[in-house]
Amino acid sequence: MNMKKVPILYSLIGTIIGASFFTLPYVFDKQNLILASSLFLLISLLSMYTNYIYSKIIINTHSQHQLPGYTEIYLGRKYKMLVSVMTLLGALGSNLAYIIIIISFFNTIFQNQFNEKLIALIFVILFGLPIFSRNLFNKSERYLTSLLIILLLSLTAILLWQTNNYSSLIILTSNKIQPFTIPLLLGVTLAANTGFGILPELKKTLSYSNLKLTTIINSLIPIILYIGFIIAVLLNSHTVSENGLSGLVLSNPLIVLGALVGILAVTTSYQSLSVVSIDTLVEDFNCSRLISILIVIFIPLALFAVGVNQLVLVIGTVGGLFTAFLHLIIHLIYKIKFGHNFIFELFSYILAIMIIIEIIRLVFKML
C-alpha cells in the first residue's frame, strides 16, 4: 500500500476510541460480569460487522456522500431527513460527551484549579484546529492515534502488572443480573465501538479490497484494547468512577498517564467526528464550510454551558438511541443493495429493541 495513504488508516481507530470506552468499566461494575462480557462481545462484533457492510455500500456507490446522502439514494428523501437529524444529534451529543470528559481529565491533572467552561473553550479551539485543514487533520490523526495506542497499552500493562488480587473479578461474576442496567451497557458498548462515520473519508483514499481489510482490522484493535482496559480498571479500583480513571488506586505519575490517555482518546474522536459532521452539512445539505464548522463547534459548547453535563447519561442516550438508529439504517441500506442474511436479522432486532427501550427510559426520566 502506498505510504502516502497510511495516515487516513488511523482515522477509524481514532474515531472509534473516544469518550465512550472510559465508561465501560463503570457499566461493567453495575452488572454481572459474565452477562456484561457476553453482551459486550456480541455488540462489539456486530458493530464491526456494521463497519464492514457500510464499507461495502460506500465502495459500491459511485457518488461521494455521508450517511444521509447514501440514505437518500437507497431509502428515499424522507428517510434522509430523519437520518440527517439523527446523525447530527448523535455527533453533537458525542462532542458534548467529549467536552464533559476532557474537563474531568484536566481536573485530574490540575486538581480543579481551572474554570470548567474555560477548559471547554480552550479544548475546542486548540484541539479543534485540525478540522480546518484536511492535511493537518490527517497528520494529527496519525500521530495522536499512534501515541494513544502506545500510552493505553502502557497504562493497561502497568495496571495489570501491579495487580496482586484478582478476587474482585470473581466477586463481579457472582453479582446478580441487573435488568435495568442492561440498556445502559448496550448503549455504551455500541457508542464505544462505533466509528463508521469516517468510512466515506477512507473511500477517497483506498481501493475496495484495502477498505474492507482496513475496516475489519481497525475495528478489532479497539475491542482488544477495551478488554484489557476494562479488566485493568476493575482490578485496580475501590470504586469505579464514570470516567473509569478517577476511582483508580494510583500513584501521581500513573494518574497523569491515565489522564493523558483520556485526553488523547477524546481529541482523536472529537476531530474525526467533527470532520464527518462538517462534511455531512457541506456535502448533503449544501451548507457553507464556515457555517458548518460553527455549528459543530459551538452547539456542544452551548449545551455544556447551560448544564448538560452527565457523562453516562449523554453517552448512554447517544449509543442507545441515535447510534442504534444509524446502525439500523445502514443495515436497511445493505438489505436493499445486497439482500439480507442471518446476522442482519439478528442485529436489526437487537437495534430495534435498544431504540424502543431507550425511548421508554427517556420518557420515564422526563415524567
CA distances to 57, 59, 90, 96, 323 from 212, rounded to whole Å, are 11, 9, 25, 31, 21
Q: What is the DSSP letter of 322?
A: I
CB 172 within 8 A of CB 234: yes
**Per-residue confidence (pLDDT) for residue 318, from 0 to 100:** 62
Q: What is the DSSP letter of 18?
A: S
Q: How many CB atoms lie within 10 A of CB 127?
A: 21
Q: What is the DSSP letter of 111?
A: T
Task: Indicate whether this model's pTM tops 0.75.
Answer: yes
Own/partner contacts of 242-250, CB < 8 Å, gap of 24 or more, are 242/22, 242/23, 242/26, 242/311, 242/312, 243/22, 243/23, 243/101, 243/104, 243/105, 243/311, 244/21, 244/22, 244/23, 244/24, 244/25, 244/26, 245/22, 245/105, 245/108, 246/104, 246/108, 248/159
C-alpha 204/C-alpha 4 separation (Å) is 13
Task: Give me the residue label for grid cell 420518557.
Answer: 363
The helix (run of H) or strand (run of E) holding residue 360 is: helix 342-366
User: Which candidate, 346, 113, 156, places its Cα nearest to that of 258?
Assistant: 156
**Per-residue confidence (pLDDT) for residue 39, from 0 to 100:** 92
**Per-residue confidence (pLDDT) for residue 348, from 0 to 100:** 76
Q: Where do the domains of the chain lie, and which CATH numbers do they carry?
A: 3-366 (1.20.1740.10)
C-alpha 131/C-alpha 276 separation (Å) is 10
CB 194 within 8 A of CB 319: yes
**C-alpha distance across the termini of the chain, in Å:** 55
Q: Would you call 366 helix, strand, or coil by DSSP?
A: helix
AA identity, residue 328: L
User: Which candidate, 263, 312, 360, 291, places its Cα nearest to that of 93?
Assistant: 312
Angle between helix axes 252-285 and 134-161 (nearest 10 degrees) is 150
CB 156 within 8 A of CB 229: yes
Cα 315 to chain centroid distance, Å, stands at 9
C-alpha 239/C-alpha 241 separation (Å) is 6
Q: Would you call 181 helix, strand, or coil by DSSP?
A: helix
Q: What is the pLDDT along the chain (367 residues), one digit of tens a residue?
A: 444 444 445 667 877 887 678 889 988 988 888 899 999 999 998 888 888 889 888 888 888 788 888 999 999 888 888 888 888 877 787 788 788 888 888 887 777 777 888 888 888 887 777 677 767 777 777 788 888 888 889 988 988 888 766 666 776 677 777 777 787 888 888 888 888 877 887 766 655 556 677 778 888 989 999 999 998 888 887 778 777 777 776 666 777 888 888 888 888 888 888 887 888 788 777 888 888 888 888 888 888 888 776 655 666 566 567 788 888 899 889 988 887 667 767 777 787 777 777 677 666 665 5
What is the C-alpha radius of gyration for the chain, rounded to an integer number of angstroms?
Answer: 19
CB 226 within 8 A of CB 27: no
User: Which candidate, 138, 73, 90, places its Cα nearest to that of 284?
Assistant: 73
Q: Give residues with Cβ within 8 angstroms of 297, minimum separation 6.
A: 124, 128, 274
Cα 9 to chain centroid distance, Å, stands at 17
Backbone φ and ψ for 248, nearest 5 degrees, come out as: -75, 145
Task: Give me the residue label for grid cell 459474565.
Answer: 34
